[in-house]
Amino acid sequence: MITLDDQTASLTTLKYFGTSITISLYQAPTEQTRASLCRALSVIQEYHYLASDYSTYPHVTNVKSVNEAPELSHEIDPQLTALIASAIDWHEQSRGRFNIALSPVIALWRAQRFACEKQKDNCSIPGEMALKQAAAHIDVDKIRLDRQSNKIQLAEGMSIDLGGIAKGWMVEKLYDQLIRDGMSRFVINAGGNIRHYGLHPSGRYFNIAIEDPICRQNHYRSSKCQSEQGRYHEIIAGSDLTVVSSGNYLKYFMVDGKKFHHIIDPKTLYPETEGISVTVVLSDNQIYADVISTMLFLMPVDEGLEYVNSQPWIEAIWYINAKGEKIRSSDFNQYTGKLK
């Protein structure tokens, strides 16, 4: 859906990446802005088709195509090659915490979560034996990717999942397209992945409100969550930034009173047990936003803090527990703003 008024043009779609994606251009609508939004939709569609592990499409060999016949050699689009190659490289950079080959393990947890949503009184987690069998097929080194000829082949029993990198990658490609089209100020919101450029029409920085994860998890029922100050635990202000969060407070199911969420640690094969959320603010390398937020959520806070403080283009804040205790990276406060 495209909407226009005197000062803005926006596009919203619910069809791709399993979430709502909105592009808001803060300038008077013209034929150029409308055409730019249409080209932006094409970028969203293209990366959705390439990265999907749910559906195949007649015009493309995508992740689902590869997973259905892992032992065969597949010729893939160069853009999918670049995406997979970067994901493989991040396995080492993340010290093994980011692993696109974890798909067989993720599939077991996802199936249990979906089953629990349908039948809440009969929930269970994957069995230890099933997890160990799946873990026999998660070795990233067995992904044979030819980066020159754009071909990929997996070992038998393997599958890949780009859910931890594809959306952030798409957002940055979307950003690049809007810049090429001459768009001067905009905000992209892809299911909570926020990317903005330029200044707000009033001349100030754009403000990004980070929702309190406990408020969101409890559907804003507590008295604290009735005010804007309570609903949002941080306001991020700045220019040309990416803001993205990873946490355990949305996609999860309960078994015997214990929460099991969707972010699986490749080292344990189970959901991470510490912390509630981490929010990262990137001023560079925004294409890796999803990877970095997931990686930091899985790392012990001390290790994650050391990593962030060594990179001048990343800041982060960890929401530690239900009391609302937080830990900030050394220069995070440079982005602290006020709700406007």
CA distance 315 to 297: 13
Three-point CA angle 325, 326, 332, nearest 5°? 160
CB neighbour class for 194 (10 Å; exposed up to 12, middle 13-18, buried from 19): buried
Residue 59 has pLDDT above 80, yes or no: yes
pLDDT score of 68: 97
H or E element: which one contains 253?
strand 252-255
C-alpha separations of 121 from 235, 253, 260, 261 in Å: 39, 11, 15, 18
Q: What is the pLDDT of residues 121-155, one digit of tens each?
A: 789 999 999 999 999 999 999 999 999 999 999 99
CB neighbour class for 151 (10 Å; exposed up to 12, middle 13-18, buried from 19): middle
- Strand-pair partners of 280: 244, 316
Q: What is the pLDDT of residues 235-277, one digit of tens each?
A: 999 999 999 999 998 889 999 889 999 999 999 999 999 999 9
Reading the block at residue 151, the tokens are: 């071909």
Residue 119 has pLDDT above 90, yes or no: no
pLDDT score of 120: 79
- How many other CB atoms are found less than 10 A from the CB of residue 211? 19
pLDDT score of 338: 76
User: Which amino acid belongs to residue 82?
Assistant: A
3-state secondary structure of 247: strand
Q: What is the pLDDT of residues 1-16, one digit of tens each?
A: 999 888 999 999 999 9
CA distance 332 to 148: 40
Q: What is the pLDDT of residues 153-162, one digit of tens each?
A: 999 999 999 9
Determine contact, residues 151/74, Cβ cutoff 8 Å.
yes
Residue 325 has pLDDT above 80, yes or no: yes
CB neighbour class for 102 (10 Å; exposed up to 12, middle 13-18, buried from 19): buried
Query: pLDDT band at residue 98, thresholds of 50, 70 and 90?
Result: very high
The angle, 0 to 180 degrees and rounded to 10, between the axes of the packed helices 166-180 and 78-93 is 130
H or E element: which one contains 252?
strand 252-255
Query: pLDDT band at residue 167, thresholds of 50, 70 and 90?
Result: very high
- Phi/psi for 83 (5° steps) reads -65, -50
Using the CB atoms, write b or e for 38-61: b if 16+ within 10 Å: eebbebbebbbbbbbbeebeeeeb
CA max distance for the chain: 60
| Average predicted confidence (pLDDT) for the chain | 95
Query: pLDDT band at residue 49, thresholds of 50, 70 and 90?
Result: very high
Q: What is the pLDDT of residues 171-226, one digit of tens each?
A: 999 999 999 999 999 999 999 999 999 999 999 999 999 999 999 998 899 988 99
pLDDT score of 340: 65
pLDDT score of 122: 81
pLDDT score of 86: 98
Which are the contacts of 277, defined by CB distance < 8 A and separation ≥ 6?
A: 213, 245, 246, 247, 248, 249, 297, 318, 319
Mean pLDDT for 286-311 is: 97
Outline where 151-300 has alpha helix (H). 166-180, 213-217, 228-231, 289-298
